[in-house]
């Protein structure tokens, strides 16, 4: 097995599962498109890409019919739940706690169409690997992860064996320097798993990840890590003691000051990579005196999502 590692002078920040996103609105549900800036389909122009599915957005009439059926089903469900409740039935389940919303702020690219690549000829987004496309590469057999370092964004892929989530044999598929990324925007329509990555040449891609916050954190947050030799002796001792208690291959701790004044200590180790979720979060929080806090003492800003 081979796990992708950064250069010796490069800092690994996070690793998370990733793939091209999938439409959720009724008209584009289960679909995705690859577009140029004139909204033409360009999937046949992408160099080295195998043939993939050809989607056609559902007609407005078909969408209305589906929504009518869906609305009737929801109404029937509500009636059943009301009956059970009024007759003492035990109704389980809790509302979702994700960032998803049923309100779209991007009619053109989420409701009417669903491009996951927007790229003129010769732009960065056109170089992205086809393995990110669930329509061309089944997640049942192959997985793709995004790796973020202080220098670049990397896409790796590896064969997936169900039930063996620790088996990682990385293949480097694609990379771009952080300087080529103009901005990163989480998109919350429906599931709240999507993110748009805009490149400095005007192209962009839309990716989905069940670990979106982990993927985007260090592409959005400033990389203002505190050097260990800038900490007080007590703070440094706490950070190094925490890192030493993790996996033998743990990298030096990353320390950031939270808005509340506490310090977040995070450690990454290649041996903790999981095929489904990427890196586990090995983190703790200490106060200004270097004392590690109990989770009941955390401020809202101290929690990692």
- Asked if pLDDT for residue 293 goes beyond 80, the answer is yes
Q: Which two tokens stand for residue 104?
A: 């779209």
> Model confidence over 65-85: pLDDT tens digits?
444 444 444 344 434 333 333
Confidence tier at 100 by pLDDT (50, 70, 90):
confident
Task: Give the residue carrying structure tokens 């009518």.
Answer: 68
Distance in angstroms (rounded) separating the CA atoms of residues 17 and 33: 20
CA distances in angstroms from 113 to 2, 41, 58, 139, 202, listed in the order given: 39, 11, 10, 24, 19
pLDDT exceeding 90 applies to what percent of the chain? 82
Q: What is the pLDDT of residue 281?
A: 74
Of 3-12, 20-29, 60-69, 192-201, least confident by mean pLDDT is: 60-69
Asked if pLDDT for residue 301 goes beyond 50, the answer is yes
Locate tokens 């549900």: which residue?
Answer: 29
Q: Is the pLDDT of residue 9 over 50?
A: yes
Banded model confidence at residue 304, pLDDT cuts 50, 70, 90: confident
Sequence spans of domains, the chain:
12-57+99-220, 228-302
């Amino acid at each position: 097995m081979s796990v992708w590692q950064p250069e010796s002078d490069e800092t690994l920040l996070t690793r998370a599962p990733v793939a091209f996103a999938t439409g959720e609105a009724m008209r584009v549900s289960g679909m995705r498109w690859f577009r140029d800036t004139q909204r033409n389909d360009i999937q046949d122009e992408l160099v080295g890409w195998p043939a993939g599915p050809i989607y056609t957005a559902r007609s407005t009439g078909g969408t209305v019919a589906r929504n009518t059926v869906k609305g009737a089903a929801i109404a029937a469900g509500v009636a059943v739940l009301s009956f059970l409740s009024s007759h003492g039935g035990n109704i389980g389940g809790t509302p979702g706690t994700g960032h998803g919303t049923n309100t779209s702020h991007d009619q053109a690219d989420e409701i009417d169409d669903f491009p996951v690549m927007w790229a003129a000829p010769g732009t960065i987004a056109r170089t992205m690997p086809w393995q990110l496309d669930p329509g061309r590469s089944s997640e049942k057999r192959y997985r793709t992860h995004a790796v973020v370092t202080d220098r670049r964004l990397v896409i790796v892929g590896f064969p997936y064996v169900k039930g063996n989530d620790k088996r990682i044999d990385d293949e480097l598929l694609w990379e771009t320097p952080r300087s080529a990324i103009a901005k990163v925007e989480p998109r919350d329509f429906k599931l709240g798993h999507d993110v748009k990555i805009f490149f400095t040449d005007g192209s962009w891609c839309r990716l989905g990840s069940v670990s979106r916050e982990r993927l985007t954190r260090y592409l959005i947050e400033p990389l203002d890590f505190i050097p260990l030799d800038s900490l007080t002796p007590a703070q440094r001792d706490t950070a190094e003691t925490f890192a030493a208690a993790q996996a033998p291959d743990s990298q030096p701790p990353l320390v950031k000051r939270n808005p509340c004044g506490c310090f977040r200590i995070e450690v990454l180790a290649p041996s903790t990579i999981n095929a489904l979720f990427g890196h586990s979060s090995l983190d703790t929080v200490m106060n200004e005196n270097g004392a590690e806090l109990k989770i009941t003492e955390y401020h809202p800003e101290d929690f990692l999502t």
